[in-house]
Structure formats: C-alpha cells, structure tokens
C-alpha cells in the first residue's frame, strides 16, 4: 500500500498556496517559479506512480520554463520512449496539483492507485533534470521530497537541456536491448550526434564558424560540450552564455525573441558580418531559429518552416537516390502558424497535414508517415523514422554505388536526429548537413520559397475559454458569428489569412494574420484583434 506516513509528513512541508489553480497544459505545469513548490512535490510522487504503472520503466521529469521569462518555471513528465506524457495522465496531474491540503491530496492519490490499477509492489524509477533558472534548485529539492515519500529510485541528471533529458529516458529504457538508443549519458549523446554528423559531412568543404546565440540558458553548456566532440568538423562560436547573470536568460535574445521580434538579438549585431549566418536556441534548447545578414546587412529569418522545407526536400531526394521512393513515403506536419508560403511550397511536393499547436499533436501526426518531418514555425521540431522504415534502411540492398551512398546518408540521418523530441542542437547539425550537401548559403536556403509578411498579436480578454476552435485551430466555432466576420475581413486582402485561438500557455488570445504586403498583414492582424476585443 501507499507509505501514507512518509507522504503525509513530507506533504505537510509543501502546502499548496490557497488562491492558486494549476493546470497541466501543453507544456506541463508552468507559472511563476515561486508558486510551484507544492506542484513539484506532487509531480515527484506522480512520476513514481507512472513508473510503477509501466512496470518500473524509467520516467523523466524536466524542470524548465523554456523561453519564458527568468522568474517563471515549470515541470513536465516524459514517458519511457522519450515522448510527452500520455494525454490521459495530464488530468491526473492537474487533480493532484489542485488538492487543497494533505488529506485531500492523499485521497486523490488513493483514488488514482485504485482506478489506474497501479501495483504498488512494482519498482519505480525516475531520471530528472533542470535548466539554469535561479528557482530551479529549490524546486528540485521539493521534487526529490516527492521521490523520497514514495521510495522512488531517482537519478539526478543535473542541469541539462530538455531534449537531452528526453534522450536519457529513451537510452535508459532501451539499455541492453536490441533497440538500444545510445549510451545513457550526455557524453553518449554527444558522441552519437557528432559521429553521425562527421560521416555526413565527410569530404565536404570546411564550414566557416557558426555563431550560436545560447539565450543565456542551459543550451550554452550543452553546446560547449558538443563543440568539443565536433572539433574541426563544425567550429562553433558561442554567444549569450551568461547562465549565472541574473535577468539574462531569454532577455533580448534566444529563439523566441528572434521569432516574435523578427530581428537580430542586439547582443549579436557586433559579431555577425554581412553574408554570415547564425542561429538562436531557446532557454532549454529545444527550439532553433536561423538567420543571416545579406550583403546589405539586412536581417533575414530562417524559421521552423524554412527548416522543414530544407530538410524535407533533402530527405525526399535521398530516398529517391537510394531507390526507395516506392517503399518510404515522406510527409510533413505543420500547425496553423506555418507561413502560407511554406505550405504552398511543401504541398506541391509532399503530403502535408495541419494539426493543433503543441508538440504532442505534431509528434503523433508525424508518427503516421514512414518519415515524418514536423516543425512548428517557432523552431521546435524533428524528423521521425518509423520502425519499419528503419528496418527497411538496414536491410535494403543498394544496386549502385550512388544508391549505397544515399542509403548510408539516410542511416546516418537517423542517428544525427533526436527522434524523441525536437532538439535545437541536433536540428542545427541536421541543417548544417543539408547546407553542406547542397552548397547553400543562407540566401539560397531562404529562396526556396518567399515568406508572406505576417503579424502575431496578443489580445487580453476577460475570459479566453469562450474561444473554441476547429479545423486544427484555423477556425472559430465560438463566440458565434465571429468567424464569419473574420472571413469577411480576410477576403479584402490579397493572399489574406487570419485565425484566432486561445493560448495554451498564457492568459491571452492570439491573433495571426498574413497577406501579400507587410502593411496589409499588419492591418489585417489589428482589425481582427479589434473584432476579438
Ligand atoms: C508550448 C508548446 C509549443 C507551442 C507553444 C504554444 C510543447 C513542448 N511546447 O510551448 O509546442 O508552440 O506552447 O503556446 O508542446 P501558446 O498556446 O501559448 O500559443
Ligand atoms: Zn523550449
């Protein structure tokens, strides 16, 4: 049975603040770090229960608030194959987090154990990590109390990136099996990525040093380690690596800044020269934004959509060259935020699906293709090779040297890509591989298609829950009549497209608009926002 006395004693130390309501949302629990202590304790216990439910497989816990401001923090669970927590458990997490006091909490726990048929005699194993936020250590201490209360075998992965934690979960759970994913250490991961990268770029001209804006976050440490493994194969220049300077994290830098401001972080301007490219990570290194300055020092952004177009076209060509076009079908997954220019370019070449915002939706949709390429415009994404496709690649007998080369490239791509979740550093290597193979600079990559000018605005409304969407968040069903008015407005603009959706992470409604001309995109966004308000 549950160790009630231990749970009660430790739960009393981590009381829920009375006035707060918590919600396990798209990115787990996320709010001001100071308010999250009780949630952390409970998540520690929940992770242990999830592990018991899954026969002692290791569950991951990541403490991070990604691109959010430094005072925020958050926590999310990772399932045994390295993917997001199964959706049905999100409500269990929410119920536990909102139990008002220790008695109520123990009641909810007992109910969960019963309804989910959890065998408490099974072992429970968890691996956990945090990003560099100042609130991290205290929150991890509360999490560890949760592990202690349930008697979880917990492994501390220290301060590391979200995608590395996902990798560790998968590596631990596949250790000494035929599906082994790599050595279960940061070094194992870096070794895996860099070995595949070096094979993929062997014989290509040396790349000029690549500037990485590390958002003053945990990506700085991971990138420094990766750099050692890459050596001459890809020289890196790391900027915004101030992980201990108060207030620096994600401040006027990082992938979210670049995407939302559509400009170069000021801290980079003196480092990047005309014609050069660079990239930005976010605060937990799972989002990637590229950009370059043209010869007139004009800024150009290469976002998740541009990455998807670059990578998908490359994989399609390799599949053809390997003689596998009849066996291996490549498909794309996007969200409503994908630029219309990218959707047009991609859908002329490949099957494209649109799903609601949030990694779990994209990931699951991508699993349905033989090779599923998914990227959110904000720079989060990866490529998934189905188990059947990986078997096909391993068994296929190439009939020409060219086929053999292409096949090896595909196999190495499966190694350089983090298939558990989007990883900015792994995605960066993937981009660099394609650029090297295509002999592209930023200019040529950018010219694959032209982005439609677009504008994203936030609207604060009294109650965002009245906004309900359909068709992968592209249309509103409620409030009634609003969608018809948005349609009427949108029709007036050439290549106009606009949609409204409630945010899953902030108490606002988001309005997105695009049109042929910059001024029109801005005008459409503000007029739609006016309808919402
Ligand atoms: C979260 C999601 C991200 C999504 C964003 C949208 C995960 C791991 N992250 O950060 O994919 O783009 O939320 O935020 O799923 P919004 O609902 O506030 O627009
Ligand atoms: Zn992130």
Q: What is the pLDDT of residues 190-202, one digit of tens each?
A: 999 999 999 999 9
What's the CA-to-centroid distance between 26 and ligand 1, angstroms?
6
Residue nearest to atom 4 of ligand 1 (CA): 358
* ipTM surpassing 0.90: yes
- Look at residue 254 in the predicted model and tell me its pLDDT: 98
Instruction: List, edge to edge, every strand of the sheet that includes 29-32.
Output: 29-32, 72-78, 58-63, 125-130, 153-159
Report pLDDT digits (tens) over 446-483: 999 999 999 999 999 999 999 999 999 999 999 999 99
Question: What CATH homologous superfamily does 186-302 map to?
Answer: Alpha-D-Glucose-1,6-Bisphosphate, subunit A, domain 3 (3.40.120.10)
Cα 334 to Cα 314: distance, rounded to the nearest angstrom: 18
Residue to substitute in 287, 358, 376, 500 for testing ligand 1 pocket (most ligand atoms within 8 angstroms of CB):
358
Q: What strand order describes the sheet that includes 210-213?
A: 236-239, 210-213, 277-281, 288-293, 299-302
The per-residue pLDDT for 181 is 96
What confidence tens digit (pLDDT) does each residue in 162-189 have?
999 999 999 999 999 998 999 999 999 9
* This prediction's pTM: 0.97
Distance 379 CA to ligand 2 centre (A): 9
**pLDDT of 506:** 84
Average pLDDT of span 44-72: 98
4-159 and 454-532 share one CATH topology? no
Decide yes or no: CATH 3.40.47.10 for domain 304-424: no
- Say which ligand is closest to the CA of 65: 2
What burial class does residue 410 get, using C-beta atoms within 10 Å of its C-beta: 0-12 exposed, 13-18 middle, 19+ buried? buried
Which mutation among 283, 380, 501 tests ligand 1's pocket best, with the greatest number of atoms within 8 A of CB? 380
Q: How large is the average pLDDT for residues 101-123?
A: 98
pLDDT of residue 120: 98
Binding residues for substrate: 376-378, 501-505, 510
The ligand minimizing its distance to the Cα of 66 is 2
Kind and range of the H or E run holding 282? none
Question: According to the model, what pLDDT value does residue 366 have?
Answer: 98
Catalytic positions: 66
Extended strands (E) in 8-142:
29-32, 58-63, 72-78, 125-130
Half-sphere exposure of residue 507, counting CA atoms within 13 Å on the CB side? Answer: 6
Residue 162 CA, ligand 2 centroid: distance in Å: 7
Query: Which pLDDT belongs to residue 505?
Result: 84
> How sure is the predictor about 207, in pLDDT bands with cuts at 50, 70 and 90?
confident
Among 82, 87, 359, 464, residue to substitute to test ligand 1 (most atoms within 8 Å of Cβ) = 359
Domain ranges of the chain: 4-159, 186-302, 304-424, 454-532
Nearest to 163 by CA among 82, 43, 247, 106: 82
pLDDT digits (tens, 9 = 90+) for 257-277: 999 999 999 999 999 999 999
Q: What topology is assigned to 4-159 in CATH?
A: Alpha-D-Glucose-1,6-Bisphosphate; Chain A, domain 3 (3.40.120)
- Residues framing ligand 1 (Cβ under 6 A): 26-27, 357-359, 376, 378, 380, 503-506, 510
Residue with tokens 């194969």: 233
Residue 68 C-alpha to ligand 2 middle, in angstroms? 8
Specify the ligand 1 atom closest to the Cα of 67. 10
Pick the CATH number of 454-532 from 3.30.310.50, 3.30.300.30, 3.40.30.10, 3.10.50.40: 3.30.310.50
What pLDDT digit, counting tens, does each position of 275-316 carry?
A: 999 999 999 999 999 999 999 999 999 999 999 999 999 999
Q: Could you tell me what percent of the chain has a pLDDT over 70? A: 100
The predicted structure's pLDDT at residue 507: 87
According to the model, what pLDDT value does residue 64 have? Answer: 98
Q: How far apart are CA 484 and CA 392, in angstroms?
A: 48
59-94 per-position pLDDT tens digit: 999 999 999 999 999 999 999 999 999 999 999 999
In the predicted structure, residue 55 carries a pLDDT above the cut 90? yes
Ligand nearest to the CA of 64: 2
Over residues 30-45, the mean pLDDT reads: 97
Averaged pLDDT, 347-372: 97
Mean pLDDT of the chain: 97
The minimum-distance atom of ligand 1 relative to the CA of 421 is 8
pLDDT on residue 409? 98
Residue with tokens 């409620």: 478
By alpha-carbon position, which residue is closest to atom 12 of ligand 1?
358
């Amino acid at each position: 049975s549950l160790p009630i006395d231990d749970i009660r004693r430790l739960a009393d130390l981590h009381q829920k603040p009375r006035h707060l309501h918590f919600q396990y949302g798209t990115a787990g629990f996320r709010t001001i770090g100071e308010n999250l202590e009780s949630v952390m304790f409970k998540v520690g216990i929940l992770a242990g229960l999830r592990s018991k439910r899954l026969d002692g497989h290791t569950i991951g816990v990541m403490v991070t608030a990604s691109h959010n401001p430094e005072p925020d923090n958050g926590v999310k669970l990772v399932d045994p194959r390295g993917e997001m927590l199964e959706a049905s458990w999100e409500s269990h997490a929410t119920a536990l987090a909102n139990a008002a006091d220790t008695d109520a909490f123990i009641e909810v726990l007992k109910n969960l154990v019963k309804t989910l048929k959890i065998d408490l005699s099974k072992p429970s194993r968890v691996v956990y990590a945090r990003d560099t936020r100042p609130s991290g250590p205290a929150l991890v201490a509360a999490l560890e109390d949760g592990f202690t209360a349930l008697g979880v075998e917990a492994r501390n992965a220290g301060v590391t990136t979200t995608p590395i934690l996902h990798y560790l979960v998968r590596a631990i759970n596949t250790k000494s099996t035929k599906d082994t994913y790599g050595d279960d250490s940061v070094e194992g991961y870096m070794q895996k990525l860099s070995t595949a990268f070096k094979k993929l770029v062997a014989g290509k001209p040396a790349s000029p040093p690549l500037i990485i804006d590390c958002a003053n976050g945990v990506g700085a440490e991971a990138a420094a380690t990766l750099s050692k493994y890459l050596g001459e194969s890809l020289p890196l220049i790391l900027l915004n690596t101030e992980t201990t300077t108060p207030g620096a994290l994600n401040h006027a830098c990082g992938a979210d800044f670049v995407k939302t401001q559509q400009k170069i972080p000021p801290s980079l301007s003196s480092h990047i020269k005309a014609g050069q490219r660079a990239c930005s990570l976010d605060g937990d290194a799972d989002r990637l934004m590229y950009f370059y300055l043209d010869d007139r020092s004009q800024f150009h952004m290469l976002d998740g959509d541009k990455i998807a177009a670059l990578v998908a076209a490359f994989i399609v060509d390799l599949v053809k060259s390997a003689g596998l076009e009849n066996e291996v079908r490549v498909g794309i997954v996007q969200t409503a935020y994908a630029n219309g220019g990218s959707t047009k370019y991609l859908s002329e070449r490949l099957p494209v699906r649109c799903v609601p915002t949030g990694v779990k939706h994209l990931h699951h949709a991508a699993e349905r293709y033989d090779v599923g390429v998914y990227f959110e415009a904000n720079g989060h994404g990866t490529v998934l090779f189905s188990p059947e496709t990986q078997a096909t690649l391993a068994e296929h007998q190439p009939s020409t040297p060219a086929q053999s080369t292409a096949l090896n490239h595909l196999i190495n791509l499966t190694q350089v890509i983090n298939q558990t979740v989007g990883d900015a550093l792994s995605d960066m290597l993937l981009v660099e591989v394609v650029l090297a193979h295509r002999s592209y600079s930023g200019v040529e990559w950018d010219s694959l298609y032209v982005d439609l000018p677009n504008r994203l605005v936030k609207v604060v409304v009294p109650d965002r829950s009245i906004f309900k969407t359909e068709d992968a968040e592209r249309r509103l069903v409620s409030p009634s009549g609003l969608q018809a008015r948005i349609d009427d407005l949108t029709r007036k603009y050439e290549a106009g497209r606009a949609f409204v959706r409630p945010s899953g992470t902030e108490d606002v409604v988001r309005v997105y608009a695009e049109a042929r001309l910059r001024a029109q995109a801005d005008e459409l966004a503000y007029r739609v926002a006016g309808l919402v308000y």
